[in-house]
Structure 1
Amino acid sequence: MALPSQKTELVRDTSLDDWELVGSGGFGCVYKARHKDWGIYVAIKILHKGVRSCNNHLHHSSPLTKLCVEANHMDEAASEFVLRRYGTYQGYLSGKETSMQHGLVMEFMRKGSVESLQEELSGPPPWPLAFRLAHQVALGMTFLHSKNLVHGDLKPSNVLLNVDLNAKLADFGLSRVSTSASNSSRETTGVIEGSYKYMPPEAFEASYEPVRAFDRYSYGILLWSILMGKEPYPWADYTHVKLRIPEGDRPCCKEIDKMKLKVEGLEALVDLMKRCWDESPSKRPTFKECFEVTENIFSKHEKGIHMVVGEVLTKLESPNSYLSSWASNVPPQTPEQSEPNDTVDFDFRKQDSVSGSTKIMSNEDKAKFVDKNRAKLIQNVTEVMAITKELGEMVHPEAYLCVEDKQKTTQDKMRVLYSRTLRSGGVAVKAAFYDALKKHHPKLVERLGGYF
């Protein structure tokens, strides 16, 4: 059964080539592919293998139904700051596939997401870009809410960036008008992967059904993440966040507060951020109020945006280059300074809370740890050569040459090790990296929540 496509085209596998996997999750996979006739690269969001309709009838909660809903919502919310849908996909991903695959055909955002930008910069973007991102997200959400849609999963990985680092909202898999954003994820995972840190306190109630105030809270946490260049509560799991957020805990603002009077407009944005994550849904400002604030702030920095974007793009393309000091938001921490500074600071426990037995990390757990803590490891790992020798032939030759280069900083070496070896090496290589890291940096592994 093909997805509905009243306003957009049906794209078949024969129209696409140069496929490349760029992301995956519990719902499906996202590929980059070139459309032969259009001459451009597009993003293809595909359901996991085996997900299809039964007797031409869709189960109400099936992933295919959700994909149809996402397609309709993308069409309703079409705007400059929302990811555009070109059509729907139908076809076979490889010669070995025997079942028809379905998906969405969307514009391809060449510079990833706010989350990947934070990882590449190992921190926040320069002030003009940070303020523009805040403003563009507010504009996109204003339009979304004007259509009576609730996004339900507003976070850094769902704010995508085009070639000029302009932001567009994406992933409407949880977007809806009146159904629960929390139940859909719990059906398959038991918790909301990554998203629970952006949920308002009232959303942890089992009977909660999200309204617009849900997104307003998420926007507040997103603003903090943009300004700080990292995720909130990195040491806290779902259970701890669920316990503490309703009690009033929020991300720590000590570093931001120190800079409020030094950066024009920052104090107003911090005030907006804190109003957005207010415990009372009725006290959270509408997105119209939000974009009025962010528009005023960005206008004070708009003249510097082109220079800053150029500088950031150079940094992304040449890891050895540096952002000018005036553009930096938060000074990078040294290993000695790097301590947990969030209000909710929970370590992942090394022992099972019931049996008291020691947990053993699987290779998948180790790989997840390496991916999750990329920015922190780049900042703090100093024994790069020792770890590289432990990995041996697993390390890409170009990465090995970089690690041997005495002119390069340890951070540069770690970035290359990630990009050339760990990113493409799979679970086994990341697990081996974790074991080497544990041997040479045991205290760092423990501080970041790892265990043996």
Structure 2
Amino acid sequence: MALLSHKSQPIGPENLENWDHIGSGGFGHVYKARHKDWGFDVAIKILHDGVSLQKGSRVWAEANFMETASCEYVLRVYGIYQGPVQGLPLRQGIVMEFMGKGSVQSLLEDLGSPPPWPLVFRLAHEVALGMNFLHSRKLMHQDLKPCNVLLNDDLKAKLADFGLCRISASASCKNKETEEETGGTYKYMPPEAFDLSYEPVRSFDSYSYSILLWSIITGKEPYPAARYNQVEVRIPLGDRPPLEHIDQQKVEGLKELVDLMQRCWDGDPSKRPTFKDCLKVTEEVFLMHKKGVSHAVHQVLTRLESQTGTQRENNNVALSFLSLTPDQPNLNDLVDGRLMETKGTSIQASVSVSDKRMSRKEKAKFVDDNRAELTRVISEVMAITEELGDMVHDEAYALIRAQPTSMKKMRELYQGPLRSGGEVVKAAFFDALKKHHPRTVERLGG
């Protein structure tokens, strides 16, 4: 049954209360609200003005894919929203299950380290279950990464954001993604996907799963300082995230999970295991640690609740540096955009991030000094702009929102409110930036 053709009435403003903005995406904004009749919270993905929910549109396809793929490990869709949103005129959106603990990405950022091992193994298994279900329905995800694996109040995982999802039998990828548009997605793309003539198949998702596994196991972002053009060159040449600091003997089942990860990131798509094959491994290693999951979840939730504001626990991050080829750096040799000399041998270095208390003047200077890099990498521009509140006038807000890309939005924000508002606005921008992009702020020394 097609989601947008069913006979039930759309969900309107009269059905919802206690609206709260919780994030932004490529199509618009995500809100949390309480459904008055159902008695529980839902998430509403409100689309930008001009983005269509009509039959045949990309978002219509996304909603229907989510409906088709609805299961315990994939985010549920409840219906379609139509109506005004917080003073804005008529808007459309998708009403979905609300996941109260964010995503795997926010979990790793908040912890500043990998989750406890029982939770690592459960997350690996739940993602594999969700992906196997998608593939059984002849669907692909094509954007599997930590921010698209959402967590409920018990830290159970569900797949979300089907913005790139396609029916696998007819999938095509005709437009090369640029660094500006992908915002990190390219780090999870398989080597063959950098070929303009590539047509995605299910092994695309298997590769993305392997990089996701690495992030969960290590608690880190892959190639944190690498740009699109570097990844585009090095991944087809065989570069992958480093394994040197993963002690495979540290816990039972880790060796098997790392072996699966390496098979999934094989350069030959035909050699990558299917998700049905992955489940044989993930279920076995999960069952080894199932009894410890409840304690691990309680441990993590207690730690998250003890944290305040946007502060992140800082840790020393061990990085491995490998020898360079004559003309191209290894992706794992990049730290804060600079190359580390290795002299042909493996060495180790630690990057320590201090917990600073910055003055308003120091925050403003950080915003000015890092203008070029922030313009290039920041994706949550509208969410940050909204947190500035009355510091951004309606006309400036409309100009920022009208820009077609994140980079252009950032340029408009710099040229308008940040330039005219002085230290006060820049300091407020810094605080919002640290909330939405803490790793970027830390990387730049903030």
Q: TM-score, normalised by structure 1?
A: 0.72
Superimposed CA distance per residue, residues 323-347 of structure 1 (whole angstroms, 9 cap, x where no aligned partner): xxxxxxxx9743xx65565851335
Change in Cα spacing, 1:346 to 1:279, as seen in structure 2 (3 Å) is: same
Q: Which residues of 2 match residues 12-31 of structure 1 at below 5 A?
A: 12-31=12-31
Structure 1 consecutive aligned stretches of length 4 or more whose deviation exceeds 6 Å: 433-436, 444-447
Change in Cα spacing, 1:389 to 1:81, as seen in structure 2 (3 Å) is: same
Partner amino acid, structure 2, of 1:137: V
Output the CA distance in 1 between the equivalents of 2:176 and 2:12: 29
TM superposition shift of 1:26: 2.4
Residue 60 of structure 2 corresponds to residue 68 of structure 1? yes
Output the CA distance in 1 between the equivalents of 2:174 and 2:215: 21
- Provide the secondary structure at the position in 2 that maps to 1:163: coil
TM superposition shift of 1:173: 1.1
Residue 276 of structure 2 corresponds to residue 288 of structure 1? yes
Output the CA distance in 2 between the equivalents of 1:312 and 1:422: 31
Out of 246, 261, 275, the position equivalent to 1:273 is 261
Identical amino acids, percent of aligned pairs: 53
Change in Cα spacing, 1:122 to 1:422, as seen in structure 2 (3 Å) is: farther
Residue 70 of structure 2 corresponds to residue 78 of structure 1? yes
Q: Which residues of 2 match residues 4-43 of structure 1 at below 5 A?
A: 4-6=4-6, 10-43=10-43
Output the CA distance in 1 between the equivalents of 2:318 and 2:426: 24
Out of 116, 119, 124, the position equivalent to 2:109 is 119
- Provide the secondary structure at the position in 1 that maps to 2:158: strand
Residue 348 of structure 2 corresponds to residue 381 of structure 1? no
Q: For the Cα contact (< 8 Å) 1:21–1:31, is it kept in 2?
A: yes
Q: What corresponds to 1:171 in structure 2?
A: 161
Q: What corresponds to 1:360 in structure 2?
A: none
Q: What corresponds to 1:45 in structure 2?
A: 45
Output the CA distance in 2 between the equivalents of 1:31 and 1:434: 21
Partner amino acid, structure 2, of 1:247: L
Q: For the Cα contact (< 8 Å) 2:115–2:219, is it kept in 1?
A: yes
Q: What corresponds to 1:404 in structure 2?
A: none
Which range is displaced more, 270-279 or 15-24? 15-24
Change in Cα spacing, 1:12 to 1:181, as seen in structure 2 (3 Å) is: farther
Output the CA distance in 2 between the equivalents of 1:182 and 1:230: 31
Q: What corresponds to 1:324 in structure 2?
A: none
Structure 1: runs of 5 or more not aligned? 321-330, 351-375, 394-420, 437-443
Partner amino acid, structure 2, of 1:260: Q
TM superposition shift of 1:296: 0.3
Residue 434 of structure 2 corresponds to residue 448 of structure 1? no
TM superposition shift of 1:39: 1.1
Change in Cα spacing, 1:228 to 1:431, as seen in structure 2 (3 Å) is: farther
Q: What corresponds to 2:294 in structure 1?
A: 306
Q: For the Cα contact (< 8 Å) 2:171–2:201, is it kept in 1?
A: no
Q: For the Cα contact (< 8 Å) 1:5–1:87, is it kept in 2?
A: no
- Provide the secondary structure at the position in 2 that maps to 1:278: coil
Superimposed CA distance per residue, residues 413-434 of structure 1 (whole angstroms, 9 cap, x where no aligned partner): xxxxxxxx99956886795489
Superimposed CA distance per residue, residues 89-138 of structure 1 (whole angstroms, 9 cap, x where no aligned partner): 1111133x33x311110010000000000011011100000000000000
- Provide the secondary structure at the position in 1 that maps to 2:216: helix
Q: For the Cα contact (< 8 Å) 2:113–2:315, is it kept in 1?
A: no
Q: For the Cα contact (< 8 Å) 1:347–1:449, is it kept in 2?
A: no
TM superposition shift of 1:450: 7.8
Q: What corresponds to 1:359 in structure 2?
A: none
Q: For the Cα contact (< 8 Å) 1:246–1:279, is it kept in 2?
A: yes
More strand by share: 2
Partner amino acid, structure 2, of 1:252: P
TM superposition shift of 1:295: 0.4
Q: What corresponds to 2:201 in structure 1?
A: 211
Q: For the Cα contact (< 8 Å) 1:47–1:102, is it kept in 2?
A: yes
Q: For the Cα contact (< 8 Å) 1:348–1:450, is it kept in 2?
A: no
Q: For the Cα contact (< 8 Å) 2:363–2:430, is it kept in 1?
A: no
CA RMSD of aligned residues (A): 3.4
Q: For the Cα contact (< 8 Å) 1:165–1:309, is it kept in 2?
A: yes
Q: What corresponds to 1:319 in structure 2?
A: 307
TM superposition shift of 1:292: 1.0
Change in Cα spacing, 1:215 to 1:284, as seen in structure 2 (3 Å) is: same
Partner amino acid, structure 2, of 1:381: S
Superimposed CA distance per residue, residues 278-336 of structure 1 (whole angstroms, 9 cap, x where no aligned partner): 0000000010111110100011111111011011001111128xxxxxxxxxx9743xx
Output the CA distance in 2 between the equivalents of 1:183 and 1:44: 29
Q: What corresponds to 1:199 in structure 2?
A: 189
Q: What corresponds to 1:104 in structure 2?
A: 94
Residue 250 of structure 2 corresponds to residue 262 of structure 1? yes
Output the CA distance in 1 between the equivalents of 2:11 and 2:176: 28
TM superposition shift of 1:238: 0.8
Structure 2: runs of 5 or more not aligned? 323-329, 339-349, 365-383, 390-412, 419-423, 432-438
Q: Which residues of 2 match residues 390-405 of structure 1 at below 5 A?
A: 390=361
Q: For the Cα contact (< 8 Å) 1:152–1:215, is it kept in 2?
A: yes
Output the CA distance in 2 between the equivalents of 1:447 and 1:117: 17
